Structure 1
């Protein structure tokens, strides 16, 4: 028969000072972060995992490991739940405003965390700076970037040179990209990724193409007025839709250059052959 006890009387080498309650050290460490945030406005981050109704208020729910964080919509930095919901699955910043360790309740404010980050960013930011940004959302005609507590718009035409059919083909949520600060005003900050890239219209790339000659390209987009044909990095020609032959994204085509307007940065062409 094997004898055992929780009191240590029959355990060789038993030292009561060495008793460990596995799984609890992590929770104690987490609460120290909660205390630090509450007392010192220390900014924490956690993934926004869902939304719940708490006392008739809609709250975002995040977990700092095993501690549940509630962020009411009014403390999210957004006017509506619909806007806040766009961040589901993403890491968000917050400062602890209230907590009850016994009940395991923590109330966080993303709004105050962003305001603190934004204050630091505005003190340092100036026109001409090249900074890192994180892609937070992707909309139809723009990407929304975080540059340090401040959200800015990156319009599709400021991502890179050339035609972009879909922003999702260029960027993903969470991507970290460099942008140049074009303007810093009370109304907001203007940035561009394209401003950091070489402009093909100001290089010898564009000199490769001559009116009347024919060049291979690839269909990279379509619009009501025609197809966009990529001829070189950042150089696209517009070609009217074919009457009797359909082309699709990715098709290689031969186009004849009909007109080049350097001032308007526009090349007009006609598709003369589809496929290689």
Structure 2
């Protein structure tokens, strides 16, 4: 009769055939990163401690040494570790390059997987293509996304037709979504993509929906030194002057604004206005 322990052992070993196939046939696997840890790895006759990404599935673990992670090295071990930490919880592609049967784990290379994927993808890339990407790194003015082993640049102004105050409120590392390739430099291996290119542009009809001297309801999406951004609808933001009183306006407040000007442009448009009053305060900001 099979014991419960034997049943669990067999269940947890279901992924090992894929691991062996990756080792023998360079099959690309995709597992989530579950940790960042220093491991002692044998290199020839020597053993050395190296920083590693840890991938896991069904209680089977694999380690990806930093030099095989495909992550750009920094000026120190601390910087390298910080860059690796950004991959926690994200799914990554890798190829198994070694088995550590003594410790019941395997050694893998993300760099090798990215090289295979990108070599297959580059010849087929074209401007205008829609691809599914994974957000890897989120900065103040851009997002680095990845697809088929290729890193691409998603500028903040290509995320939405409207004002984006904090990219993190829209995109976070590990998010998966579709984008359109808008610039392609095959020689220098550079790709620029756009999210807003796949979103209907609300501006052509904005001049009809928001007329000069009209008062409209909106939500504050950003407060800057030079004005307040108010979303009248998704993708349509008005830049308003601050209230003349000392009453503070916070992100998330519902306000009434008076439209002073609506200007349409080839790449969108602009609404200028002034705050009339606060209709409802955002309690979370209080």
Structure 1-normalised TM-score? 0.83
How big is the shift at 1:30? Answer: 3.3
Aligned length: 258
Runs of 4+ in 1 over 6 A off after TM superposition: none
Q: Does 2:73 correspond to 1:69?
A: no
Could you say if the C-alpha distance between residues 57 and 269 of structure 1 is closer, same or farther in structure 2, counting changes exceeding 3 Å? same
How big is the shift at 1:162? Answer: 0.8
Counterparts of 1:165-204 in structure 2 under 5 Å? 165-186=165-186, 187=188, 188-201=190-203, 203-204=204-205
How big is the shift at 1:21? Answer: 4.4
Q: Does 2:46 correspond to 1:45?
A: no
Could you say if the C-alpha distance between residues 102 and 255 of structure 1 is closer, same or farther in structure 2, counting changes exceeding 3 Å? closer
Q: SS at 1:205's partner residue?
A: helix
How big is the shift at 1:73? Answer: 0.5
How big is the shift at 1:242? Answer: 1.7
Partners of 2:89 and 2:160 lie apart in 1 by: 28
Deviations 1:70-118 (A, max 9, x none): 2110100012332222102222221111224345342110111111111
What residue is the counterpart of 1:11 in the other structure? none
Could you say if the C-alpha distance between residues 205 and 265 of structure 1 is closer, same or farther in structure 2, counting changes exceeding 3 Å? closer
Contact 2:13 2:60 in 1 (8 A): no
Q: What value does the CA root-mean-square deviation take over the aligned residues?
A: 2.4
**Which is richer in strand?**
2
Could you say if the C-alpha distance between residues 255 and 43 of structure 1 is closer, same or farther in structure 2, counting changes exceeding 3 Å? same
Contact 1:141 1:156 in 2 (8 A): yes
Counterparts of 1:242-261 in structure 2 under 5 Å? 242-244=243-245, 245-261=247-263
Partners of 1:146 and 1:129 lie apart in 2 by: 15
Structure 1: gaps of 5 or more residues: 1-13, 15-19
Deviations 1:127-177 (A, max 9, x none): 111122223333322233222211222222211111122222223443332
Partners of 1:173 and 1:59 lie apart in 2 by: 19
What residue is the counterpart of 2:10 in the other structure? 25
Q: Does 2:241 correspond to 1:267?
A: no
Partners of 2:215 and 2:14 lie apart in 1 by: 68
Could you say if the C-alpha distance between residues 66 and 254 of structure 1 is closer, same or farther in structure 2, counting changes exceeding 3 Å? closer
What residue is the counterpart of 1:227 in the other structure? 228
Q: SS at 1:56's partner residue?
A: strand
Q: SS at 2:82's partner residue?
A: helix
How big is the shift at 1:204? Answer: 1.9
Could you say if the C-alpha distance between residues 233 and 46 of structure 1 is closer, same or farther in structure 2, counting changes exceeding 3 Å? closer
Deviations 1:225-275 (A, max 9, x none): 010112233211111122312212222222222233323822221112221
Structure 2: gaps of 5 or more residues: 41-47, 74-79, 281-286
How big is the shift at 1:222? Answer: 1.1
What residue is the counterpart of 1:213 in the other structure? 214
Partners of 2:209 and 2:9 lie apart in 1 by: 68
Contact 2:207 2:262 in 1 (8 A): no
Greater mean alpha carbon deviation, residues 168-177 or residues 188-197? 168-177
How big is the shift at 1:24? Answer: 4.0
Greater mean alpha carbon deviation, residues 156-165 or residues 61-70? 61-70
Structure 2-normalised TM-score? 0.81
Partners of 1:77 and 1:147 lie apart in 2 by: 14
